[in-house]
Amino acid sequence: MKAEIKLALTMGLLGGVVVFLFGGWSVTVLGILIGVFMGLSIGGRVNKKDGPRKLALQSLSTAGIAAVVFIAVSLFQNYVVAPAGGQFPSELYIVIPANLIGGLGMILFTALTAALHGLPDRQERLGKLILMVVLVIAFPFIDRITGLHWSGQIIFALIFVILGLGLNIVVGFAGLLDFGYAAFFAIGAYTTGILSSPQHHIFMNFWLVIWIALAMAALWGLILGTPTLRLRGDYLAIVTLGCGEMMPIIFRNLTNVTIKEPLTCWIIPGIMRLFNSSAATKCITIIDNLDLTAGEKGINPIGRPYLPFIGEFQSNNPIPWYFLIILLILLSVFLIRRLRDGRLGRAWMACREDQDAAVQMGIDPVHTKLTAFALGAAFSGFAGAFYAAYIRGIFPSVFEFSTSIIVLCIVVLGGMGNINGVILGGIIIMGADRLFLPALKDLLKGLMDHTILPALTSNHTLQAVVAQNANPILYRYLLFGLTLVIMMALRPEGIIPSAQIRAELHADEETSAVEKAVKN
Amino acid sequence: MKSFFRRFMRPIIAILVIYLVFLLGPIAGLDFPIIVGRIQESPKMLVQFLIIGLANGAIVAIIALGYTMVYGIIELINFAHGDVYMIGVFTALSTLSVTGALTTNNPVHLVLGIVAALVVAMIVCASLNVGIERLAYRRLRNAPRLAALISAIGMSFIVENIGLIWAAQSWLVPSFGTTGGGAQKSFPDLLSKIMISLNLDPNLLASTGLGLRFTIKDLLVIVLASILMIGLRFFIQNTRLGKAMRATAQNRDAAKMMGINIDRVISITFLIGGGLAGAAGLMAGLYNNTAWWFMGFRAGIQAFTAAVLGGIGNITGAMLGGFLIGLLAAFSDGYMDARWTNLWVFAVLVLILIFRPTGLLGEQVGEKA
């Protein structure tokens, strides 16, 4: 019972923190989401035999406490924090239904999800699936009705989920640390950009380009992987970092490409000059002054997908984009699961656990690693194509080292080798980066301007210093860095660990436990 | 037929690769006719680039020592090391600002300020590096190596963020026109100022009439770097602690059995590496006259490349590698295309790791990933 109260308080406050930043209708959306989440966590500890009805009733108390905490925080935000930040509190006709639906939704969905645990296994899985599908489909519409405008940022998060899924093949399944993953993202995006932008007078259909981008990324995975994958461990990591850093430099500087055939242009004339011959050869110029990537200015605009009935996807309507990226994720997850469970996936994991033993079993390590590298890269081609079409413009600075590390953060946080973990990690990391931090910035700025700074009027330098540093966006890198360091120190296997990785990472704890036991 | 292929495969591939370099190299500035033409035009410039390369290489070498010492002892790429150096630049700049050396014209005050900046930068960076080891690496010493590497990357991001916030503090970092933490800050050219206030020409070769520049900045960097390198060599070869470090690098368990306090030795390694990075920070600030929160990343990669080039774990190798990388960068800036210099540094890193991971002077480093 104590554990349940703790859970209820954590969940209520967790939701409250987010509501704190957004206010308004976010109460409703979060109430439902947290309800589902709470139901899932309760389900892990209950007695399955009790049956759905009893479980639902049992969960009610927890859900009730959480809902009360949650609504209390929400009201506190609306009537205390918002005025302190210089905003008007929401009107009653929004506050009452929003909080009511949010609180009731939380209780209802907790009970519903908890009840699912009481069903037989197959029905339970089916029920959860239906619940998930309903939530995923309903999200953009709720988002639009409530006017929260989270969809645009959630789409970013989902792009990074695909990247995380791809990197997970390389890092999680095959155990190859890749610090240059953004390079393949860049290749996918630039392929799309070059093939469907007026800058190059090529207008290919997005539905075709996305596959070309995928193939290009995979091809470059093969090209970069072939020489590098002989290395092991940290040397491989650094080589991938080097390759990954070369890509933005290349894309930044390919602004006037001239290729002259060297034999005819200077080798033969040079030799002739050595022998004092005056015979001239004709210099063959293959490409003359081609502006391939437009440097810092980037490629834009880029063509967008078009579908009958929907028309061309527009930037002011995120719903088609949302469903497109969800489809891409589903496709990726399907493919990755098939790969993981097949012969190739098992070979990856065997190589990860012990390469020498795997070779003895007849696995070709180079081939295995190369496929992991190329397939991992292929999914970032997907993400790159979608990203280019969605943003409508690509710039080299997007694909630098920090992007590779953000994707690595997603994989590490969610759990290396676990698909669900990576999806959760992507949503947490990118949600924090794209939604949470900007909202926190606005909140802090409002509080600073209206409440805290006036209290410091006596000291103008201090006032300036505080105002300048109270910007959470400044601390973005700190957030990613801390995620990596803390996860590695406390829970290297991630939030949702894969069983094998956990065993591997805690191997020496086991041996030391055995040693202790022997000593005693 | 088959033996024919086997026999000529390698030369054919080699010729193909050389042809491809000739064909595509010019895109990235590697255009031999142009390079040869420029060298013929003014051979004096070659000497000039040699000087610039040596001075920059000295800074890279000092940073590289920190990488190579840590790798030699715990086989970890201390990814945050480049960022520790960046903190060194900012510490030096802030110390100079606080001591008033930035605004004075009194040569004694300036020299004292620079000495103070050197000492403070070394102390701050050394403690930072030791702290990083305590917080992020120590508990991962027996974990898989990749876990420690990921932690190192995380630490690097944290230190970069500290630099970004530091750069935004106008009361610590004078801005000289640029504002905001993200912008590059200027680091005043104090050495030339000392020379001018003493009525001397900052260019030491001005009176020779050769038309070359060898300034007080070059001299200071090369002299200070040499002192630090010789001091480090002496410390490692001739002192008890240096011996303990070498023993730990060779075999940690055996060293432990001989009664060496491993934790202490590792801490001291990080301490020395950090101190060197701090000194490099002051030198780089005085030499290149910029301070930027992101400069540690590029410098770190260059230094790591230098360490690998010389043979990681090998201290003489790191010095050699540093000078080579400095020369490469200067040569690329001067004769090829400055936009592509970083690409060539990365290319050297990738090629050396693929084809000769032991480096130029390296002994075999155990590969036990």
Of A234, A253, A265, nearest to B145 by CB-CB distance is A234
- Tell me whether residues A474 and B181 touch, CB distance under 8 A: yes
Of A242, A476, A481, nearest to B155 by CB-CB distance is A481
Q: Is B37 on the interface with A (CB under 8 A)?
A: no
Residues A59-75: tens digit of each pLDDT: 788 888 888 888 888 88
Q: Of the segments A26-30, A93-97, A394-398, B277-281, which one has the largest average pLDDT value?
A: B277-281
Size of the A and B interface in Cβ pairs below 8 Å: 165
Task: Identify the closest residue of chain A to B298 by CA–CA distance.
Answer: A245
Q: Could you tell me where the DSSP H helices lie in A44-174? A: 52-76, 82-84, 92-118, 121-146, 151-167
pLDDT at B366: 43
pLDDT at B368: 35
Round to whole Å and give the CA distance between B265 and B251.
13
Q: Is B349 on the interface with A (CB under 8 A)?
A: yes
Handedness of CA A305, A308, A312, A316 (dihedral sign): negative
User: Which parts of chain B register pLDDT below 50?
Assistant: 365-369
Q: Is B167 on the interface with A (CB under 8 A)?
A: no
Handedness of CA A313, A317, A318, A319 (dihedral sign): negative
Taking contacts as CB-CB distances below 8 angstroms, the residues of chain A near B162 are 478
Mean pLDDT of A376-397: 91
- Tell me whether residues A235 and B367 touch, CB distance under 8 A: yes
Of B33, B154, B340, nearest to A253 by CB-CB distance is B340
Q: Of the segments A125-134, A510-519, B2-11, which one has the largest average pLDDT value?
A: A125-134
Q: Of the segments A82-86, A147-151, A175-179, which one has the largest average pLDDT value?
A: A175-179
- Burial label, B254 (beta-carbon count in 10 A; 0-12, 13-18, 19+): exposed
Q: Is B366 on the interface with A (CB under 8 A)?
A: no
Question: How near does any CA of chain A get to the CA of B246, in Å?
Answer: 22
Mean pLDDT of A370-398: 91
Round to whole Å and give the CA distance between A446 and A460.
18
Q: Do B125 and B277 meet the contact criterion of CB atoms below 8 Å apart?
A: yes
Contacts of A427 (CB under 8 A, 6+ apart): A154, A157, A158, A161
Round to whole Å and give the CA distance between A56 and A112.
7
- Tell me whether residues B342 and A267 touch, CB distance under 8 A: no
Of A474, A485, A492, nearest to B136 by CB-CB distance is A485
Round to whole Å and give the CA distance between B329 and B53.
7
Taking contacts as CB-CB distances below 8 angstroms, the residues of chain B near A246 are 343, 346-347, 350
Taking contacts as CB-CB distances below 8 angstroms, the residues of chain A near B294 are none
A324 pLDDT tier (thresholds 50, 70, 90): very high
pLDDT at A101: 84
For B193-212, the DSSP string reads HHHHHTT--SBTTGGGTS--
Scanning the structure block, which residue is given the tokens 């037929």?
B1
Task: Identify the closest residue of chain A to B351 by CA–CA distance.
Answer: A239
Mean pLDDT of A403-419: 90
Q: A208-222, A265-279, B103-117, B123-137: which range is least confident on average?
A: A265-279
Residues A105-116: tens digit of each pLDDT: 888 888 888 888
Q: Is A338 on the interface with B (CB under 8 A)?
A: no
- Tell me whether residues B146 and A234 touch, CB distance under 8 A: yes
- Burial label, A212 (beta-carbon count in 10 A; 0-12, 13-18, 19+): middle
Any idea where the domains of chain B sit in the sequence? 46-355
Contacts of A474 (CB under 8 A, 6+ apart): B161, B164, B165, B168, B181
Of B147, B160, B340, nearest to A505 by CB-CB distance is B147
Round to whole Å and give the CA distance between A509 and A322.
44
User: Over 80: is that where the pLDDT of A4 sits?
Assistant: no
- Tell me whether residues A249 and B343 touch, CB distance under 8 A: yes
- Tell me whether residues A469 and B165 touch, CB distance under 8 A: yes
Q: A177-181, A254-258, A277-281: which range is least confident on average?
A: A277-281
Mean pLDDT of A155-173: 94
- Tell me whether residues A492 and B143 touch, CB distance under 8 A: yes
Question: How near does any CA of chain B get to the CA of A245, in Å?
Answer: 8
pLDDT at A48: 67
Taking contacts as CB-CB distances below 8 angstroms, the residues of chain A near B28 are 250, 253
pLDDT at B303: 93
Q: Among B157, B172, B365, pick the best mutation site for testing chain A contact (most A Cβ within 10 A).
A: B157
Residues B111-156: tens digit of each pLDDT: 999 999 999 999 999 999 999 999 999 988 888 878 888 999 999 9
Taking contacts as CB-CB distances below 8 angstroms, the residues of chain A near B84 are none
- Tell me whether residues A243 and B346 touch, CB distance under 8 A: yes
Class of domain B46-355: mainly alpha
- Tell me whether residues B367 and A257 touch, CB distance under 8 A: no
Question: How near does any CA of chain A get to the CA of B352, in Å?
Answer: 10
